[in-house]
Amino acid sequence: MFNTKTILATLAVLAGLAGVSSVQAAEDVVHVEKQSWSFAGIFGTYDQNQLQRGFQVFREVCSSCHGARLIAFRTLAEEGGPSFSEEQVKALAAEYEVADAAADGGVRPAVAADLWPSPFASEQDARDANGGALPPDFSVLAKARGVHDAFPFWMFNYFTGYSEGGPDYIHALLNGYEEEAPEGFELPEGKYYNHVFPGHAIGMAPPLADGQITYTVEEGQMAVPETLEQYSTDVSAFMMWMAEPHLAGRKQTGFVVLLFLIVFAGLMYGTKRKIWAGIEH
Amino acid sequence: MSEHSTYTPGSGVEKWLDERLPIIRFSKEHLMDFPTPKNLNYFWTFGAILVMCLGIQIVTGIILAMHYTPNIGLAFDSVEHIRRNVNGGRMIQAFHAVGASMFFVAVYIHIFRGMYFGSYKAPREILWILGVLIFVLMMATAFMGYVLPWGQMSGWAATVITNIFEAIPVLGTPLLELLRGGFSVGNPTLNRFFSLHYLLPFVIAAVVALHIWALHVPGNNNPTGVDVKDSRDTLPFHPYYTMKDAFGMVLFMIPFVWFAFFAPDILGHPDNYIQFNSQITPAHIVPEWYFLPFYAILRAIDFNLLFINSKLLGVIFFGGSIVILFLLPWLDTSKVRSGNFRPMFKWFYWLFVVNFIGLTYLGAQPADGIYVLLSKICTAYYFIHFIVILPVLSRIEKPRPLPTSISESVLAKSHA
Amino acid sequence: MATGAVAGVGAAATVWPLINQMNPDASTLAVASIEFSLNGIEPGQSVTILWRGLPVFVRNRTPEEVAEAQNVALADLKDPQTDAERTKEGHENWLVMIANCTHLGCIPTGESGEFDGWACPCHGSQFDTAGRIRKGPAPTNLVVPPYEFVSDSLIQIG
């Protein structure tokens, strides 16, 4: 019964199931398809080009409603992230205004050290402009969302270190809009049907569509598809960077520390054995 | 059993110090020469691992406190400031958060070791009681620490758990307002939780010192549960157990750093990355995993009993589940300590372990459907184990014959 | 023994981040250097700005003030420095100085005192038009922070 073929087949089925996770939404369970991200796993790093594209999506589409109040402009030039140049960051910051009590009229152009200014003057303004719903700030949103894996897959996640539930959810959400709500579903006025969003009635209109944003392509680089799928993947990756800017450095340090500890444990074991040699125990 | 000290001061300085504050004599007696049973297994390394965990939490905690602001308008952002701006802040914060979970992993293993090998039995009752006290202090510390980032789970956990006190008749509401410093969880609550969270680990350290003192009076228990007869049964703590404990600590650090560097948020909850909003309740309020079994017990009691309403009854069972631990030495009166020689006890012990894991799982599930019934069954077993099974077993169980001494059992094992 | 050496390396590698976290963090270092526009500051006008938490005088000196500063004999100075040493070539009219009196830190009042520069109200130190100490208890001249002219109307301090 437990021959190799059966075992391999079982593992294949389990692995397949593991690729599909769920979002708990009251009674019904939504399945979120997990993506493969460059920043997943022990050796994960951000793809600089992807982050730059994702930033473009954020800036051209999302930032009109969503803030990023914990993101300083200067971090866009940090290594391990989108890695824009210092000049680019300085020029970008100068396009935005920040409040400064010491400045003329209370506002001044932003500098690299400033934090991303909010698109709205107050929470009430944000709600008024969005049908009563408050567009959440993007700074840690990719960590404030997740997917729910059934038993036993959530246990496997401890061993794989799966931490990409947020981007997986966001990607699925952006691709989860339906033109029409299904039969029998009461969609409130002003809301849109999204089969990933808990409750399915989301206040945000579908923000992305094919061809909406033009990606500039460097010489010699492959053209990047200008599709909803690509935009949603890129912006999800960028949002993960906003939430975890030091991910690459953290994983690199972690690998060295883990290796050190394994070697050290081996040495310690040898020392322990040497000390205990000859003792009946 | 403490031996007469064999320390003779070496240099003149040592002699001068020994006459005034015999700290070297004390260290030698208790950290180096201390006679320790030679047959301790790796479960006995968790005491040292726990001391390491406490040290890590205190060091990382003091550093975090240099950068954290305990004000409801600033707390969430100050934690993000630590992660983003402070040199090495991401790592230090991850070590502190993961460290709390690892601390509880170690303490549960340590407690279950004690329960299996009868380390709570005479003459170690006070040792056990101090241990349960440390466990309670750890839970209070961890609870308050989790509130500090001021996320959704932070604030709602604070709300739900402080609400427990309201169940107390008459004094409940005034007590609740006293604890919170207001009518709901707010800035006064956060500030005092920060102060107490900083204080309690040092109280824990003091109780740990008493715990080790109480241990050093009778000496360690061992896997056979048989008392130490003479020096053939023991080894000096240094270098045998200093090295073994150090090895255990290094091994323990491997899963620790795995989580801290590669999955620092997996043991937490995504909702805690949303700032606390007292107007919006999260879909599922879930405490940190180490509280889940007791949370399951609290929620399982959803019925009234005579004049006691279900809320108060739930609180009584919740508190009772911990109080009963203090009484364990008097509930299990079997003269045989170790589960290795108690075949019936062994079965029920493992049933208790499985039941405890079951309670942990149930604590995370929503309170409906079959989970309600299962929680009641598991809660019932938890109490029946202590109140009925252990006392009955003490009376009716026929234990296996014990070895005459530790050294005899060690020799028998090596010749087997 | 190898174990001990490895343990030592591990211990040092662990201890360093715990100490380094007290060093200025990224958000502090980000504002360690600032750019300031000199537009709109007329000759004879001063502004006081904030740099690294310290007040800094930025003065557009009149030609008379510059001449007065350049004509002082070094022997008359407690802390001898030429005016050229305290200004940038080609921009001698601009004076940038940390506004804390070098005695005990009070902010001196501008355009006052016996030497037409600054006078400190706390203990009477008198500074000249180049911010040099001429009379009073202050031991050294007002400190000129590191700065550069990015363009004719923009300086970078720090």
Q: Do C17 and B85 touch (CB under 8 A)?
A: no
Neighboring chain B residues of A269 at a CB cutoff of 8 Å: 247
Q: Do A72 and C31 touch (CB under 8 A)?
A: no
Does position A11 have pLDDT exceeding 60, yes or no? no
Is A245 in CB contact (< 8 Å) with chain B?
Answer: yes
Nearest residue on chain A to C10, alpha-carbon basis: A260
Predicted confidence at residue A148, as pLDDT, reads 86
Neighboring chain B residues of C28 at a CB cutoff of 8 Å: 85
Is A264 in CB contact (< 8 Å) with chain B?
Answer: yes
Nearest residue on chain A to C28, alpha-carbon basis: A113
Neighbours of chain B (3+ CB pairs under 8 A): A, C
What domain range includes position A268?
248-281
Shared-domain flag, residues A172 and A235: yes
Find the catalytic residue in C78, C123, C140, C151: C123
Q: Do A264 and C35 touch (CB under 8 A)?
A: no
A265 torsion bin: left (phi>0), alpha (psi -120 to 50), beta (else):
alpha
CB A279 within 8 A of CB B38: yes
pLDDT tens readout for residues A58-76: 999 999 999 999 999 999 9
Give mean pLDDT, residues B316-341: 95
Give mean pLDDT, residues C26-40: 92
Residues of B with CB under 8 A from a CB of C: 59, 63, 66-67, 81, 84-89, 91-92
Predicted confidence at residue A101, as pLDDT, reads 86
Rounded to the nearest angstrom, the minimum Cα separation between B387 and chain A is 33
Q: Do A263 and C6 touch (CB under 8 A)?
A: yes
Of B68, B69, B72, which Cα lies nearest the Cα of B92?
A: B68
Predicted confidence at residue A152, as pLDDT, reads 81
Is C27 in CB contact (< 8 Å) with chain B?
Answer: yes
Does position A94 have pLDDT exceeding 90, yes or no? yes
Do the domain assignments include residue C18? no
Is C11 in CB contact (< 8 Å) with chain B?
Answer: no
pLDDT band at B1 (very low <50, low <70, confident <90, very high): very low
pLDDT band at A280 (very low <50, low <70, confident <90, very high): confident
Rounded to the nearest angstrom, the minimum Cα separation between C23 and chain B is 7
Neighboring chain A residues of B283 at a CB cutoff of 8 Å: 24, 198
Is C18 in CB contact (< 8 Å) with chain B?
Answer: yes
Neighbours of chain A (3+ CB pairs under 8 A): B, C
Do the domain assignments include residue C54? yes
pLDDT tens readout for residues B19-50: 999 999 999 999 999 999 999 999 999 999 99
CB A212 within 8 A of CB A56: no
Radius of gyration of chain C, Cα coordinates, nearest whole angstrom: 21
pLDDT band at A24 (very low <50, low <70, confident <90, very high): very low
Do the domain assignments include residue C12? no
Average pLDDT, chain A: 89
Token duo for residue B37: 């049973």
Give mean pLDDT, residues A46-60: 95
Does position A153 have pLDDT exceeding 90, yes or no? no
pLDDT tens readout for residues B119-149: 999 999 999 999 999 999 999 999 999 999 9
Give mean pLDDT, residues B190-216: 97
Predicted confidence at residue A21, as pLDDT, reads 58
Q: Do A113 and C31 touch (CB under 8 A)?
A: yes
pLDDT band at A6 (very low <50, low <70, confident <90, very high): low
CB A195 within 8 A of CB A180: no
pLDDT band at B283 (very low <50, low <70, confident <90, very high): confident
Nearest residue on chain A to B80, alpha-carbon basis: A70
φ and ψ at C58, to 5 degrees? -120, 115
Predicted confidence at residue B117, as pLDDT, reads 97
Domain ranges of chain B: 35-268+277-284, 288-326+343-398
Shared-domain flag, residues A192 and A274: no
- ∠ CA B211-B213-B218, nearest 5°, is 100
Shared-domain flag, residues A180 and A278: no
CB A95 within 8 A of CB A48: no
Report the first-to-last Cα separation within chain C, whole angstroms. 48
Does position B415 have pLDDT exceeding 80, yes or no? no
**What strands, in cross-sheet order, belong to the sheet with C116-119?**
C109-110, C116-119, C126-128, C133-135
Predicted confidence at residue A28, as pLDDT, reads 61
Predicted confidence at residue A235, as pLDDT, reads 97
pLDDT tens readout for residues C92-124: 999 999 999 999 999 999 999 999 999 999 999
Shared-domain flag, residues A142 and A180: yes
pLDDT tens readout for residues B146-163: 999 999 999 999 999 999
ipTM for the predicted complex = 0.90
Is A170 in CB contact (< 8 Å) with chain B?
Answer: no
Neighboring chain A residues of B239 at a CB cutoff of 8 Å: 275
Neighboring chain A residues of C50 at a CB cutoff of 8 Å: 102
pLDDT band at B307 (very low <50, low <70, confident <90, very high): confident
CB A50 within 8 A of CB A241: no
Q: Do B89 and C23 touch (CB under 8 A)?
A: no
**Distance of alpha carbon B286 from its chain centroid, rounded?**
19
Q: Do B273 and A271 touch (CB under 8 A)?
A: no
Predicted confidence at residue A4, as pLDDT, reads 56
Mutate to test the interface with C, among B68, B86, B96, B242 (most CBs of C within 10 A): B86
Neighboring chain A residues of B88 at a CB cutoff of 8 Å: none
CB A233 within 8 A of CB A35: yes
Predicted confidence at residue A26, as pLDDT, reads 42
Predicted confidence at residue B356, as pLDDT, reads 97
Is A252 in CB contact (< 8 Å) with chain B?
Answer: no
A114 torsion bin: left (phi>0), alpha (psi -120 to 50), beta (else):
beta
Neighboring chain C residues of A112 at a CB cutoff of 8 Å: 30
**Angle of the B89-117 helix axis to the B343-363 helix axis, nearest 10:** 150
Q: Do C10 and A264 touch (CB under 8 A)?
A: yes
Q: Do A72 and C7 touch (CB under 8 A)?
A: no
- Is C103 an active-site residue? no
Domain count, chain C: 1
CATH code of the domain containing C124:
2.102.10.10
Nearest residue on chain B to C10, alpha-carbon basis: B250
Q: Do B92 and C25 touch (CB under 8 A)?
A: no
Whole-prediction pTM: 0.91
Average pLDDT, chain B: 94
Out of 1.20.810.10, 3.40.640.10, 1.10.1040.10, 3.40.50.12780, the CATH code matching B35-268+277-284 is 1.20.810.10
Token duo for residue A87: 């000049």
Does position A9 have pLDDT exceeding 60, yes or no? no
Residue B415: in which H helix or E strand, if any? helix B406-415
Shared-domain flag, residues A183 and A48: yes
Give mean pLDDT, residues B211-237: 94
CA distance C80 to C103: 17
CB A113 within 8 A of CB A73: yes
SS3 state at B314: helix
SS3 state at B312: helix
Rounded to the nearest angstrom, the minimum Cα separation between C39 and chain A is 13
- ∠ CA C56-C59-C61, nearest 5°, is 155
Q: Looking at the partner chain, which of B91, B247, B262 has a beta carbon nearest the beta carbon of A272?
A: B247
pLDDT band at B413 (very low <50, low <70, confident <90, very high): confident
Rounded to the nearest angstrom, the minimum Cα separation between A221 and chain C is 33
Do the domain assignments include residue C9? no
Give mean pLDDT, residues C121-136: 94
Neighbours of chain C (3+ CB pairs under 8 A): A, B
Does position A281 have pLDDT exceeding 90, yes or no? no
Of C94, C107, C110, C112, which Cα lies nearest the Cα of C58?
A: C94
Q: Looking at the partner chain, which of C6, C10, C30 has a beta carbon nearest the beta carbon of A113?
A: C30
Do the domain assignments include residue A126? no
pLDDT tens readout for residues A107-130: 999 999 999 999 999 999 999 999
Is C4 in CB contact (< 8 Å) with chain B?
Answer: no
Shared-domain flag, residues A43 and A141: yes
Q: Looking at the partner chain, which of C21, C27, C28 has a beta carbon nearest the beta carbon of B88?
A: C21
Interfacial B residues in 235-294 facing A (CB < 8 Å): 235, 239-240, 243-244, 246-247, 250-251, 253-254, 257-266, 270-271, 273-274, 283-284
Give mean pLDDT, residues A41-52: 95
